[in-house]
Structure formats: C-alpha cells, structure tokens
Amino acid sequence: MQILLAFIFGLIFGLGILISGMGNPAKVMNFFDLAGHWDPSLAFVMAGAVAVTTAGYQFIFQSGKPLAGEAFLLPTNPRIDAPLLAGSALFGIGWGIAGFCPGGAIPMLGTGRLEPLIFFAGLAAGLIAARNAQAAASATPGGTALAPPRS
C-alpha cells in the first residue's frame, strides 16, 4: 500500500512540476529576475501548492493517523535558528543560480537532459561535504555539529 501511494503521489507531483514549468530552469530564473524579464507565474504555482498542502494537512490530521503509517513524523524543532536560516539562504541562492531545486529536478531526470544530472551531482557532493563537516565538528573537542546527524 505504501509503495502504491508513493508512486501515485510521486506521479501527481512530477506531472505538476512539468505542467507548471517548475522543471524549466529558464522559467525559474525569470521568476527571480525582478529587474528584467520577470515571470510571476511561479508565484501562482507556489500559492496553489500552499493552498492544496494546507487543505491536505487539515484533512489528513483530522483522521488522526497517516494513510500508510503508524504515526505522523513531524519536525520536533520549532525554532528558527542560524542553521535553518543559513540552509534556507543556500537553498534560495542555489535555486536562483541553477534554476533547479531538488523537488523540481527529480521529475526532470526522466527527460534525459544533462542539466538535472549535473545538478544532482553537485547536490550529492554538497550533501557529502556537509555530512563530513558535521562529523568533523562533532569529533573535535568542544565542536558541535550544525544539526544532529541522521540515523
């Protein structure tokens, strides 16, 4: 059941990315180009996504239990702290430079284009570097990692 639901929701997500243009780096970069050829259409895509997500969360939380799981896995840290802000800034900068974010690039891997593969190579390198930096900071006396390592 979980695999079937993941496939259906992934298919819907991927189609939404393709139809909305969120997988097109030029369209994404035009959204960020406020002084040039600004394309506000992605703001409507994001607003629609927030509306659908809000309604979905309300519906699912009323049931008290996930459709295909034992319990909801929700974030436990409600703070807006430096690592969150730094990560958000890096995400936005990377999205503006590359025109891809992980969610938008995943469906584009199926197109056979080289750009999403290059993006994911850089993403993987960044994730590995961050994990190594966190491990090194944790291993240093008095050092602390930016975030707890995943298990």
**pLDDT, tens only, 46-72:** 899 899 989 988 888 888 888 777 888
Tokens of 97: 């430079």
CA dihedral 59, 60, 63, 69 (to 10 degrees): 170
Please, which residues have CB within 8 angstroms of residue 116's CB and are 6 or more apart in sequence? 100, 105, 108, 109
Best mean pLDDT range from 67-71, 122-126, 137-141? 122-126
Helix 41-63 crosses helix 25-32 at what angle (to 10 degrees)?
100
- pLDDT over 70 (residue 149): no
Q: What is the DSSP letter of 150?
A: P
Average pLDDT, the chain: 85
Q: Which residue has the higher pLDDT, 151 or 42?
A: 42
Q: What percent of the chain has pLDDT over 70?
A: 93
Q: Summarize pLDDT for 16-41 with one digit per residue, the tens.
A: 888 888 888 888 888 888 898 889 99
Q: Which residue has the tokens 């059941």?
A: 1
Distance CA 105, CA 94 (A): 12
Annotated domain spans of the chain: 2-139
Is 77 within 8 Å of 146 (Cβ atoms)? no
Instruction: Kindly report the pTM of this predicted structure.
Output: 0.66
Is 39 within 8 Å of 27 (Cβ atoms)? yes
Q: Which residue has the tokens 């997988």?
A: 23
Is 120 within 8 Å of 135 (Cβ atoms)? no
Q: What is the DSSP letter of 80?
A: -
